[in-house]
Amino acid sequence: MYSPLHNPGYPSTPTILFHASPPQSARHSAFDTELAPIDSPRPTSDGSLYDPHAPLLPNRLSRPHAPQQLQLSGARYEDFDARRLYSPKRIDPFSPSPAASETEFLKTPSSALFPGPAGRPKPPRLHPFARSFEAPEWMYILIHLGLCSLAYPVLLLTTIIASNKSIFWSRLIVGIGCGAVGVALGLSLARLAQRFLEAATWATLIHQSRAAQNPGIRLRDFADSSASPTSILAGLKLLWSRTFYQGASRRARAHYDPRPWTFYVLAFLIMVTISSSLPFILGRVVDIRASIVHQSDNYYEVAVAADLSEDDLSRAAALDGTFNDFRYTWTLSPFSSHGNLPSPVMLQWEEDTVYFAETTLSQLLPGGTGFGTFDSDTTAATTQLDIKQATENSGNRDVSAGMVLRYPRWGIRIRCTKSTDPNTILPRAASGLTYMFVPHEILRNLFDSFGREYPAALGAPLNLTRAMQPNDTFPATLNADDIAMSAVFYDNGVAHSFFSSPVSMGDDGAGFVSIESLLVRLNTTYTPQGTFLTHPEQGMPDVNGTQTFVGMDSAVCLELYEPYVLETYNSTTGIPATTRIVSKTNTIVDANGKEERNLRRPLTGENLKRELNSSSLRPAYNVAHGNSANQILKDNGRDAYYVPSPTLVSFTGGTGPQGYLELSADFFSQARGFADASNVLTYLAGSGQTVARCYPDNVTTFVKIATFDAVVVLGIVTVLGVFAGLFVPRLPFSIPRRGFELYSWLAAFYSNELVLEKAEQRGSEDFPKHLELEDIKRHMGDLRFHYGV
């Protein structure tokens, strides 16, 4: 097929683009055309020589044709001087000059695909930027805006679904949600940005087609952009090609197309980079935080050192005599080791305050013990953990980090009442002793406050013969029938003294009950703000021989040692910590009435205990109770002068050496509860093994959107999409938009918009069918084409 266009300045012999072999049948080709003469200009409706809406297509013959077979073989290529395309005058890139229209635009070979009047191109669509930019594809812009508006709600829904799941499922759900939103927005943005690459690629072809030397570009280079129109590599290749094409330089095209096409290529690269990164970026704006949640549905059993063994009790019994001898005032550990003792814990149970000893790490390790072994290794700087051994055995622990342990422990409830009758204190009897009398009314009120029955042994009349020395006289202001018990104290200069009367020594297995009496004797010289219940009539000289008086006060407490089931949290990030009281029982039961499931077989063992029982703990209780009282007594001032101490001042709520105010039953009960929790309960847990339930923690997640970051990302994507949709530059010379889709290729080849410049002679055989793609690329990749303008 020959190009019938005749252009002045071109060789008289027409350039043969393709050779059509004769048809095999009598039918003619449907692409045969009959061109109207173009030697004479066509007047337009307004009398001008150029009508932009005039058909660029030839007149078609009315007879039907059959398509001829196109051949590249036998094609002849004449030398083409591209400089003849240039006009010495500057050409408006958006309004072709009449000369350009007459000599070049209208002489471009036309396709025979548009018969008759249907071949007239439609007027360009009107829009606000019609002079410089292509008509926007409003549907794609609206789709992009719709996707951007739906992105945040979808991400929010994703976070709601992903919350309170395990780490794996939360990450999976967030990955799917952010990936879906990112892919949708990325495809939309890339589709809009593709028009930048298409426009820049065709503009590069047009620019290089007007180059003086080597006009046009290779088909291989043109195909690189169209093969992957939304890839970063295609944009980089185009940017690289424009660097080496002479016709694409700003200087070569400044007189007809000065626009910054490199900017549009860079804009395409930025948009495609962002679109491909959106799933990753959106995954970063969703914050996944892991949280540890305690659960009480599933457990398995472990052994902890929370009781006393037979060996522990034997060693405790050997110390009983020492603690009953007031001459020693012995304690189980020196002051230097107090830092190793577990801290007391105060928890609420119903309306009462209960005191416990904190669990030590050694109680939870395999082979570990508590402080109640009553040997030299656990009474001075006790249970020193071998860190190396603990590390080596960490893989064999029965109790791992991040678990709640539930097992029975001893707790203390204590309530005190301050004496109000000064006659209940006999400051100095004939023997030099001081007596304290406790009325039935006070004790009965204390027992009633705990809901306990008043013991019959306390209801008997006071035996004065046993209660007092032979020469001492019972106060005449008191009625012996109203007195439940008495306590006697030596005149030894100790400012605070204790007297304990056991009510129950644990033989019933339910715990221990004791009545604790406190006598305060304090020299008023050191208590300028002090208030006392009474003082002796006779004073005593101080260090300077000045006559002073000793103020006296008293209080009585009822102390209960009872079993409770507690929960202790154990992890490798810190020491064990008691969290709450589960029940007031001596054995573990399901909490809150719901059935709990054991994940493993129940533990069995001859020395393994499942409940607390006090029936055999009398020796240990005697020693531990004496240890606690003696620890408090050691915090005392100088003997013989009844001077204050920090412990005694704390019983009043005051501070400082002269801060004693008035004895308070509440302050004393709290101080005594803390002291006994540390110094008594600590030693009721030795090497005896108790079954504990272990509830492993569940690791769940909290998923949240970083709102500010998400808004910034979605805003950028929205703005870039709108920019790419509205501001696609028009091709030079107001050439209609061309892309990489099939229709653009049909228009380019069938209307001869792409003109073959030169190729080697390839013989006379037809271009064969069914060639492999690699062969087609090899044969045609280096063919150079220029745009026929």
Query: 672 versus 332: which is more confidently predicted?
Result: 672
pLDDT at 632 over 60: yes
CA angle 266/270/272 to nearest 5° reads 115
Half-sphere exposure at residue 290, Cβ-oriented, CA atoms within 13 angstroms: 9
| Residue predicted with more confidence, 565 or 15 | 565
Of the listed ranges 117-126, 232-241, 607-616, the least confidently predicted one is 117-126
- pLDDT tens digits along 308-317: 999 999 999 9
Long-range contacts of 260-267 (CB under 8 A, 24+ apart): 261/200, 261/203, 261/204, 261/207, 261/729, 264/196, 264/199, 264/200, 264/729, 265/196, 265/197, 265/200, 265/235, 265/238, 265/239, 266/239, 267/193, 267/196, 267/723, 267/724
Is 252 in a helix, a strand, or coil? helix
Can you give the pLDDT at residue 27? 37
Half-sphere exposure of 159 (CA within 13 A, CB side): 20
d(CA 754, CA 238): 18
Question: Looking at the predicted structure, is the pLDDT value of residue 390 above 70?
Answer: no
At residue 108 the predicted structure's pLDDT band, cuts being 50, 70 and 90, is very low
Give me the chain's average pLDDT, please.
80
Q: Is a pLDDT exceeding 50 seen at residue 592?
A: yes
Q: Which residue has the higher pLDDT, 722 or 78?
A: 722
Q: Which of 7-21, 78-92, 412-426 has the highest mean pLDDT?
A: 412-426
Contact 344, 670 (CB under 8 A): no
Q: pLDDT grade, residue 131 (50/70/90)?
A: confident
pLDDT score of 478 more than 50: yes
Q: What percent of the chain has pLDDT over 90?
A: 48
Indicate the pLDDT class of residue 62, thresholds 50, 70 and 90: very low
The pLDDT value given to residue 192: 94
* Across 453-458, average pLDDT: 92
250: left (phi over 0), alpha (psi -120 to 50) or beta: alpha
* pLDDT given for residue 403 in this prediction: 92
**Is the pTM value of this prediction over 0.75?**
no
pLDDT of the residue at 338:
64
pLDDT for 300: 94
Confidence of residue 339 (pLDDT cuts 50, 70, 90): low
Q: What is the pLDDT of residue 700?
A: 86
Query: Which tens digit of pLDDT belongs to each residue from 549-580?
Result: 899 999 999 999 999 999 999 987 788 999 99
| DSSP conformation class of 102 | I
Rounded Cα distance, 605 and 603, in Å: 7
Secondary structure letter of residue 261 according to DSSP:
H
Comparing CA positions, the residue from 244, 206, 246, 205 lying closest to residue 91 is 206
Residue 389 has pLDDT above 90, yes or no: no
